[in-house]
Amino acid sequence: MGILNELAIKHVTDKSSIFHNYCDEYEFFLNGYRDKAINLLEIGVHSGCSLRMWLDYFSHPKTTVYGVDINNVNVGITDSRCKFLCGDQTDANVYSGISDLDIVIDDGSHVCTHQRLTFEMLFAKLKSNGMYIVEDVCTSYWNCMGDDFNFLEYTKRYIDTVNYNGIYNEIDLTNEHPNFPFTNHFMVNKHDIARNSKYLDSTMSQKNMIREYDIRSIYYGNSFIIFFKK
């Protein structure tokens, strides 16, 4: 059992091994942030149990932990590093003035449409090498949420983004780069496998592929997803 899971049990969050069992996998990715000054934002904090866990785990005095909830709850946390914001997770005004986030955790409504809208608002607020976690994505399999949108299916569109540099480039570069040293080795019907984004973006456009965000990689856990920003 890792330190983060121990703290999750201590603070009685449903992220611990007693409930959803997220923390041991999270710690593999989060451990490198422990001694750094970071900005973390969590959506859906209820009584503040997970906020206490994050404050314990990320102990740097200049760390800021933002908690967002649609209900104006009194989390009872006196640590000055904790900032509570009340509002709907899909309302951009809630996040006004917040930027340079290192970690975002969406543990909000679990409605798939809300997960998408929130991701599309907040991913841009992440720093380079930041992490965006969406919890309880099992709701993509449920009909009882009253939402026809499937967040898990939506995330698959970003597989193209992650594999961006491996896409076969169909832009003919022979005229633009006649002396390209590897032309004969990499040419198929006079099409080059160029890695320059200038050409890859054009190829993706021709293939109706989308590269909206700078996503380096995506991790699929049991009922959660982590997006890593370039």
Enzyme catalytic residues: 110
Given strand 64-69, what is the order of strands in its sheet? 82-86, 64-69, 39-43, 101-106, 126-135, 224-229, 215-221
In this structure, the number of other CB atoms found within 10 A of the CB of residue 149 comes to 15
Read off the tokens for 139. Answer: 């709701």
**Contact of 119 with 103, CB cutoff 8 Å:** no
**Contact of 40 with 66, CB cutoff 8 Å:** yes
Bridge-based pairing state of the strands 101-106 and 39-43: parallel
